Amino acid sequence: MRQHTMRRRLTSLVAGLLGAALALTGCASGSQASSTAESTPSAAADAPVTLTTAYGDITVAKKPERIVALAGRHVELLNLLGEKPVAWADYLTTAEEVPEYYPWMKGTYTTDPDPKLFTADYLPAPEAIAALKPDLILTTIWQTDEPTYAQLSQIAPTYVGTAKGTNTSWQDDLTSLAKLTRHDTAIVAKTQSQYDETFSAAAAKLPALKGKTFFIAALGEGDQLWLTEYAAAPLVALGLTPGPGQPTSGADAANAPKFSLENVDKLTADVVIIATEHRDPSGAFKAKLQADPRVAALPAAQNNALIYLDSTQWGAVNGGSAASEEWWLNGILPTLEKVK
C-alpha cells in the first residue's frame, strides 16, 4: 500500500469495528445491488425536498446552488446530473493525486480538491466548510460520525447517504442527489442500463466464469482476511455466484467468515479476489500469502483465478460508482479472460 491509502475511503471491515466513527485505513466500495427508483419528475426549483438519510430526515428548501462535496463519488454523480460543486475533497486527496488514485474521475470535476475541507484527523472541517457558505453538504457515514454531522447540519442540510452500517449504493446516492438538485430520477435507470450493457458485454467474453463461485477477501483487524460485500455487485454482474458465506449486502457482512493465515486453505471458491494494500503498507502480509504453499494449492490459484487488487483497483470497487466499476472492469478484463 502506498501512503495515500491512509486517506482513502473506509472499508466495511473497519466500519464493522468502529461503527460510524471515522477510521483511517480503509479504501472506498464496491456498490451493492440496489433497487433503482422509478422515474420521479424533478421538483420545482423553489419547492422543498425532504429525504430520509442514515442520520435522519433532511430538508433542502430550494434547488441548491452552492454544494460542497466531501467524497469523490459525489462529484462523479453530480457530473451525471450536470451539476458541479463549489468545492470538494476526498480525504485530503491533492490535485496531483487524483489522476493517479482516482483515474475514473477524469473529466468529472472543474475545480481541484481542497485539502482544507478535512482536518488533520481526517474529519470534515466545519469552519472551512462554513466559509464557503454552502446550501448543501454531501458526505458519508464513514467520513462523518453523528457529532460531526450535527455540526455540519448547523451550516447547511447535510446528506450522509441512506444506508446504515454499510456503503450507500451508487444507485441510491444518485437517486437522492437527483431529488436534491431537482432532476428527474430517470437518470438512475439510464445509468444502470448503460452499466448493465457494459457488464453483459464483458460477461459474454468470459464464458468460463459463468456460475463459478467467488470470494472477496479484504485484510482486516488481526491479520485476518474478511469476506466483504464490497465488489460483490460487479462480480455478480459478470455471472459469478457468491461462495459459501460470501456476503452481497451490508446485512450479510456482519457474520461473514474471516480467514487467518492458519486457515487460508479454506478460501476454496473458484475465483478469489484479495485486497490487502489498504492495511498492509509493507506488503508483508501479501508476501506471506504468496509464499504459502496452501495458497498456491487453492483451486483459484490453480486456475489463474486468484487475483490481488492494488489499492486503486480496490478503491474503484470498494464503495464504487458506475464509472469506477466500469474502469475497474476494463483494467481487470484481461486477467479474468485467463481464468480456466
CATH number at residue 88: 3.40.50.1980
In DSSP terms, 309 is beta-bridged to 275
Indicate if 159 and 204 belong to the same structural domain: no
Q: Give the pLDDT confidence score for residue 40 in this predicted structure.
A: 74
Instruction: Please give the Cα distance from 306 to 298 (Å, whole number).
Output: 8
* 3-state SS, residue 157: coil
Both 164 and 217 in a single domain?
no
Let me know whether 153 and 14 are in one domain.
yes
How many residues comprise the chain? 340
- Asked if residue 9 lies in contact with residue 231, where contact means CB atoms within 8 angstroms, the answer is no
Report pLDDT for 45. Answer: 76
Cell digits of residue 83 = 451539476
140 and 179 assigned to the same domain: yes
Domain co-membership, 175 together with 255: no
In a shared domain, residues 277 and 205: yes
What three-state secondary structure class fits 19?
Answer: coil
| Contact predicate 22/142, CB 8 Å | yes
Mark which of 148, 168, 185 sits at the end of a domain: 185
- Regarding beta strands 258-259 and 224-227, do their DSSP bridges make them parallel or antiparallel, or are they unpaired? antiparallel
Distances (CA, A) of 258 to 25, 32, 225, 236, 261: 18, 20, 6, 21, 10
Instruction: Write down the pTM of the prediction.
Output: 0.85
Domain residue limits at 316: 194-336
Residues of the chain with pLDDT under 70: 1-39
Residue type (1 letter), 306: L
CB atoms within 10 A of CB 179: 19
Positive/negative CA dihedral, 223, 228, 232, 234: negative
- The count of domains in the chain is 2
**169 and 119 in a common domain:** yes
Q: Which amino acid, residue 236?
A: V
Are residues 251 and 324 both part of a single domain? Answer: yes
Q: Are residues 173 and 200 in the same domain?
A: no
The predicted pLDDT at position 313 comes to 95
CA distance 155 to 158: 8
Q: Which three cell numbers stand for residue 158?
A: 447535510
CB neighbour list of residue 30: distance below 8 Å, 6 or more residues apart: 216, 229, 230, 231, 232, 233, 234, 317, 318, 319, 320, 325
Tell whether 239 and 95 lie within a shared domain. no
pLDDT given at position 49: 96
Q: Looking at residue 38, what is its pLDDT?
A: 62
For 320, residues 6+ apart whose C-beta sits below 8 A from its C-beta are: 28, 29, 30, 31, 73, 170, 231, 234, 328
Q: Which of 168, 185, 202 is the last residue of a domain?
A: 185
164 and 18, same domain (yes or no)? yes
Predicted pLDDT of residue 175 = 98
Name which of 157, 185, 155 is nearest 62 in CA terms.
157
The whole-number pLDDT of residue 5 equals: 35
Co-location of 130 and 210 in the same domain: no
Which H/E stretch holds residue 177? helix 170-180
Predicted pLDDT at 39: 64
Query: Which helix (H) or strand (E) element contains residue 87?
Result: strand 87-88
SS3 93: coil
- Distance (Å, rounded) from C-alpha 13 to C-alpha 183? 34
Domain boundary among 154, 185, 216: 185
